[in-house]
Structure 1
Amino acid sequence: MKYRKLGKTNLKVSVIGVGTWQFGGEWGMDFTQKEVDAILDRAYEEGINLIDTAECYGDHLSESLIGDYLSRRTRDSWIVATKFGHLFSGRFEREQLWSPQEVLRQLDASLKALKTDYIDLYQFHSGTDEAFDQDDLWTLLDKQVQAGKIRHLGTSIGSNDNLHQTEASSRVGSAAIQVVYNRLDRKPEERVFPSCMAQDLGVLARVPLASGYLSGKYKPGTVFGETDVRHRHNQEETREKLEMVEEIRKTEVPEGMDMATWALAWCLKHPAVTTVIPGCKNPEQVSKNAQAAEFVTEEHHQDWR
């Protein structure tokens, strides 16, 4: 495993993290505590130290599964990132809750679910610019940092071209940006990444396998069943993505190299990107994700494409 400093924080994160939306049950699979333990134990064995979750992956369900695990392990071996701003109200349904009082309630609920005294990275979660531009919200969060409940603040931008929230990061005390970035969606390269680099913000690239399209498992013409999250995607866009993936496989992925491994390493070449946070359903996928670190060099990171 390789590690990078997350922007101007003192956090050294593994270049591969563990995304845990799936633990909330919305991916069509319910996880037992034993299954979560096996996934996180494998991550630890692979040198992964970053777990990314959220208050609304289930009603604090993902956090609770992680918290139970952490309560039986060494807490300071892990960098835990979670988020705020939503209330889970059903599968793929959320209520937006952004008042300072409500966010404080969410923070305390997250700390309780995670069975921890502090959160390493507490992220504004895909909210509107109006919700973001509440000075009293950031004042409240700064007080929680000073109280030791939060080590660092971050922003998970909903639109991967949200320059407003990215540009305001240093002003509000947010030290990291989480953003959708992958070989099929390079929008952040245009405006968001240059701003992150100028401010020395850490970058967590989410959906690095483009919701599994870049896993290499699916050929053009694949039809996803109703229990699959990709069934919700626009059919024409899905067809175009699968055709693009096939072209990338033929022209960009080295012969004999697993496409998912290549796709994760591809994201990590950009000098703005600190870490990628792919999801995983079992320990084997964790190990497969971790292999991408072998193809990451800091030379490529500094001198990108």
Structure 2
Amino acid sequence: MKYRRLGKTEMNVSVIGIGTWQFGGEWGRQYSQDEADAILDKGRELGINLIDTAECYGDHLSESFIGSYIARRNREDWIIATKFGHHFHENFSRTALFAPQDVVKQLDASLKALKTDYVDLYQFHSGPDQVFDNDDLWTTLDKLKQAGKIRHLGTSIGSNDNLHQTDASAKVNSSVIQVVYNRLDRVPEERVFPSCERQDLGVLARVPLASGYLSGKYKPGATFGSTDVRHHHDAQATLRKLEEVEQIKQTEVPPGVDMASWALAWCLKHPAVTSVIPGCKDPEQVTANAKAAELLG
């Protein structure tokens, strides 16, 4: 495993993290604690130290799996990143909650679920600009940081071209940008990444496998069940993406190289990107993801 400095946080994170949206049950299967433990144990074995989760991956469900795991391990082995701003009702149904008093409650609920007294990175979760621009929100978050409940603040931008929130990072004391970035979606390269580099912001690339389309497992025409979040993607857009993936596989992926590993390494070769946070359904996928570090040279 390789490690990089996460911008001005000065935390050294593994270039491969573990995304845990799947633990919330919106990717076609439900998880048990033992299954979550096996994924996280494999990550630790391979040198991964970054876990990304959110309050709305289930109703703090993903956080609860992580918390139960961490409670039986060494908390200091892990950098835990979670998010705020949404209340989960049921699969694919959420309400935005960005009022300062609601965020205080969300953080306390996240800390309880994670069975820890602090989070390493607390991220504004895909909210609109008018909510982001609420000074009271960031004043409240700064107080929570001073109280020791948060080590660092970050912003998970909803649009991968949200220059407004990225450029305002220094003003609100946000040290990390999380953004959708992958071989099929290179928009951040144009404006967001240059802003991150100017401000010395860490960058977490989410959806680095384009919702699994860049795994190489799916052919054009593939369909997904109603319990899978990809079922809600536009069918024509999905077809176009999978056709593009076929072309990429034939023309860009070296012979004998796993496409998923290649796609993660492709993200990490951009100088602005600190770490990628792919989801993984089982320990075998954690192993495949980790191999991307070997392709960096």
Scaled to the shorter chain, the TM-score interval is over 0.9
CA shift for structure 1 position 26: 1.1
| Residue number in structure 1 paired with 2:147 | 147
| Residue number in structure 2 paired with 1:48 | 48
Deviation sequence 1:137-187 (CA, Å, 0-9, x none): 101111111111000000000000000000000110000000000000000
| Residue number in structure 2 paired with 1:136 | 136
1:12 aligns with 2:12: yes
**Structure 1: gaps of 5 or more residues:** 298-305
Aligned-partner residue type, residue 39 of structure 2 = I
| Residue number in structure 2 paired with 1:118 | 118
Matches of 1:219 and 1:27, distance apart in 2: 18
Matches of 2:230 and 2:25, distance apart in 1: 15
Matches of 1:85 and 1:222, distance apart in 2: 33
Match of 1:123, SS?
strand
8 Å contact from structure 2 (residues 54, 62) kept in 1: yes
- Change over 3 Å in CA distance of 1:25–1:223 after alignment to 2: closer
Matches of 1:120 and 1:16, distance apart in 2: 17
| Aligned pairs (5 A) from 1:90-239 | 90-239=90-239
CA shift for structure 1 position 277: 0.2
Matches of 1:185 and 1:55, distance apart in 2: 26
Deviation sequence 1:198-254 (CA, Å, 0-9, x none): 000000000000001000011122233333322211111111111100110011000
Instruction: Name segments (4+ residues, structure 1) moved above 3 Å.
Output: none
1:278 aligns with 2:275: no
Matches of 1:229 and 1:215, distance apart in 2: 16
CA shift for structure 1 position 90: 1.1
Matches of 1:88 and 1:208, distance apart in 2: 24
Match of 1:170, SS?
helix
Match of 1:8, SS?
helix
Matches of 2:73 and 2:174, distance apart in 1: 28
Matches of 2:28 and 2:214, distance apart in 1: 20
| Aligned pairs (5 A) from 1:235-254 | 235-254=235-254
Aligned-partner residue type, residue 285 of structure 2 = Q
Matches of 1:111 and 1:241, distance apart in 2: 38
Deviation sequence 1:245-286 (CA, Å, 0-9, x none): 011001100011110000000000000000000001111100
Aligned-partner residue type, residue 161 of structure 1 = D
CA shift for structure 1 position 28: 1.8
Matches of 1:13 and 1:227, distance apart in 2: 32
Say what the alpha-carbon RMSD is for the aligned residues: 0.7
Aligned-partner residue type, residue 63 of structure 1 = E
| Aligned pairs (5 A) from 1:285-300 | 285-297=285-297
Q: How many residue pairs are counted as aligned between the two chains? A: 297
Q: Give the TM-score normalised by structure 1.
A: 0.96
Match of 1:185, SS?
coil
Matches of 2:205 and 2:225, distance apart in 1: 27
Matches of 1:133 and 1:226, distance apart in 2: 36
Matches of 1:199 and 1:230, distance apart in 2: 34
